[in-house]
Amino acid sequence: MALDLTAIEAVAFDMDGVLWRADQVLPGVPALFEFLQGEGIPYAFVTNNSTRRVEAYVERLRGLGIPARPEQVITSAVATADYISRRYAPETPVYIIGEDGIRSALAERGFREDARNAQLVVVGLDFAVTFEKFKTATLLIRSGADFIGTNGDRTFPTPEGLVPGNGALLALLQTATDVKPVVVGKPEPVMFEVALQRLGSVAERTLMVGDRIETDIAGALRAGWRAALVLTGTTTREQALADGRAEAIFDSLATLQSAWEAARR
């Protein structure tokens, strides 16, 4: 099915490889957002990164000239906190492995950390993870605590190269406990459900714009969304065509905007 842009009523953007790459802003930013605002099309930003606070993203987006409010930024930490607050009472004691992003998202919803009595183990990427933390998490999960991961990315990109991502931390705990975690981030459906709620939209009229087929595109299509791949990030046109899952491929946000404007004329 070809992508019909006239049917799209809301849109979610992956950030790295779509809006920017390292320190470089990508073509079509911020003009696309002027277009979306002019057309009254709501938008949000989604990222599997659970380490940073929403405010850090809002600041970066605004710095690039993209109008952004905190509720439009959905990190896997925020989506995890949304997911947990819909299923557990706010007093539920939790044990957290992770950085400030997931800690602040859970604290804002009233969850308190209690390593002794935790009924819930939440694991996000933690740059200071230790054997002691893995031990505590393992013992809690083995005694029946629920096990939730912010995202399953196997690697995390750094200037030095790819280092272990949260999926690697989850794999260690899964091996130690024989328990499979509930994972929230893309390509899992939870992240897309949270984004739909924030956008006030329905799946079949919502577009995901991303640069990774495995997470952004496959996850969106599985959730019933429409999807557009941009070639400004990790995927080349050759790879996209060989893979075959991307229903619409654009060189950049600028070409997506041209196609969208032409479709609405």
**Contact residues: Mg ion, CB under 5 A:** 14, 16-17, 211, 233
**C-beta of 16 vs 126, nearer to Mg ion:** 16
Looking at 16, 82, 126, 211, which residue is catalytic?
Answer: 16
Specify whether 14 is catalytic. yes
| Minimal distance, residue 243 CB to Mg ion, in Å | 16
Q: Which helix (H) or strand (E) holds 141?
A: helix 131-142
| Minimal distance, residue 219 CB to Mg ion, in Å | 12
**C-beta of 56 vs 107, nearer to Mg ion:** 56
**C-beta of 16 vs 146, nearer to Mg ion:** 16
Tell me which amino acid residue 201 is.
S
Nearest position to Mg ion, beta carbon:
17
Q: Tell me if 12 sits within 8 A of 238, measured CB to CB.
A: no
| Minimal distance, residue 232 CB to Mg ion, in Å | 9
Q: Which residue, 195, 207, 215, 214, is CA-closest to 248?
A: 207
Angle at 237 between CA 234 and CA 240, to 5 degrees: 80
| Minimal distance, residue 100 CB to Mg ion, in Å | 21
Which residue blocks in 143-265 are alpha helix, DSSP H? 166-177, 189-199, 218-222, 237-243, 253-264
Q: Checking DSSP bridges between strand 249-250 and strand 24-25, what pairing results, if any?
A: unpaired
Q: Checking DSSP bridges between strand 43-47 and strand 10-14, what pairing results, if any?
A: parallel
**C-beta of 214 vs 247, nearer to Mg ion:** 214
| Minimal distance, residue 33 CB to Mg ion, in Å | 17
4 φ, ψ to 5°? -100, 100
Give the pair of three-digit tokens for residue 119: 């009924």
**C-beta of 45 vs 95, nearer to Mg ion:** 45
Q: Which helix (H) or strand (E) holds 131?
A: helix 131-142
Which residue blocks in 30-130 are alpha helix, DSSP H? 31-39, 54-63, 76-87, 100-108
- Could you give the 3-state DSSP secondary structure of residue 146? strand
Specify whether 211 is catalytic. no
Which residues have a catalytic role annotated?
14, 16
